[in-house]
Amino acid sequence: MPPHEAPVDLPALRPNPGRPFGLYIHVPFCITRCGYCDFNTYTPAELGGVNPDAWLNALGSELELAAARLGGPTVGTVFVGGGTPSLLGGERMATLLGMVRGHFVLAPDAEVTTEANPESTWPEFFAAIRAAGYTRVSLGMQSVSPRVLGVLDRVHTPNRSAAAAREALAEGFDHVSLDLIYGTPGESDDDLARSVDTAVGAGVDHVSAYALLVEEGTALARRVRRGELAAPDDDVLAHRYELVDARLSAAGMAWYEVSNWSRPGGECGHNLGYWDGGEWWGAGPGAHGHVGATRWWNVKHPNAYAEMLAGAALPVAGFEELDGDALHTEDVLLKTRLRQGLPIDRLGVAERERAETVVADGLLVTDGDRLVLTPRGRLLADAVVRSLLG
User: What band does 32 get if pLDDT is binned at 50, 70 and 90?
Assistant: confident
Find out whether the peptide bond into 83 is cis, omega within 30 degrees of 0: yes
Q: How many angstroms separate the CA atoms of 4 and 269, rounded?
A: 37
Tens-place pLDDT, residues 353-374: 999 999 999 999 999 999 999 9
Q: How many angstroms separate the CA atoms of 114 and 380, rounded?
A: 30
User: What band does 1 get if pLDDT is binned at 50, 70 and 90?
Assistant: very low
pLDDT above 70 covers a percentage of the chain that reads: 96
User: What band does 38 get if pLDDT is binned at 50, 70 and 90?
Assistant: low
Q: How many angstroms separate the CA atoms of 43 and 95, rounded?
A: 22
User: What band does 35 get if pLDDT is binned at 50, 70 and 90?
Assistant: low
Mean of the per-residue pLDDT values of the chain: 93
* Predicted confidence (pLDDT) at residue 218 exceeds the cutoff of 90: no
DSSP class of 15: -
* pLDDT score, position 3: 47
* Predicted confidence (pLDDT) at residue 2 exceeds the cutoff of 70: no
Higher pLDDT, 153 or 260: 260
Tens-place pLDDT, residues 177-214: 999 999 999 899 999 999 999 999 999 999 999 998 87
Q: How many angstroms separate the CA atoms of 206 and 210, rounded?
A: 13
82 SS3 class: strand
Amino acid at the residue 326? A
* Predicted confidence (pLDDT) at residue 53 exceeds the cutoff of 70: yes
Tell me what the mean pLDDT of segment 160-178 comes to: 97
23 SS3 class: strand
Beta strands per DSSP E along 152-275: 175-182, 206-211, 254-257, 260-262
* pLDDT score, position 5: 67
CATH architecture of 21-276: Alpha-Beta Barrel (3.20)
* pLDDT score, position 4: 59
Tell me what the mean pLDDT of segment 11-40 comes to: 85
Q: How many angstroms separate the CA atoms of 384 and 333, rounded?
A: 9
pLDDT above 90 covers a percentage of the chain that reads: 78
Residues 6+ apart with CB under 8 A from 264: 254
Least Cα distance to 123 among 151, 99, 83, 90 occurs for: 90
User: What band does 222 get if pLDDT is binned at 50, 70 and 90?
Assistant: confident
CATH 3.20.20.70-classified regions of the chain:
21-276
* Predicted confidence (pLDDT) at residue 82 exceeds the cutoff of 50: yes
Question: What is the chain's percent helix, strand, coil content, to nearest 5?
Answer: 45, 25, 35
Q: State CA 167 to chain mean position distance.
A: 22
pTM for the whole structure? 0.94
* Predicted confidence (pLDDT) at residue 30 exceeds the cutoff of 90: no
Question: Between β-strands 260-262 and 206-211, what pairing exists: parallel, antiparallel or unpaired?
Answer: antiparallel
Tens-place pLDDT, residues 372-381: 999 999 999 9
- Length in residues, the chain: 390
* Predicted confidence (pLDDT) at residue 131 exceeds the cutoff of 50: yes
* Predicted confidence (pLDDT) at residue 49 exceeds the cutoff of 70: no
User: Which of 23-37, 120-134, 318-332, 344-358 bottoms out in mean pLDDT, i.e. has the lowest?
Assistant: 23-37
Tell me what the mean pLDDT of segment 244-257 comes to: 98
Q: How many angstroms separate the CA atoms of 31 and 56, rounded?
A: 18
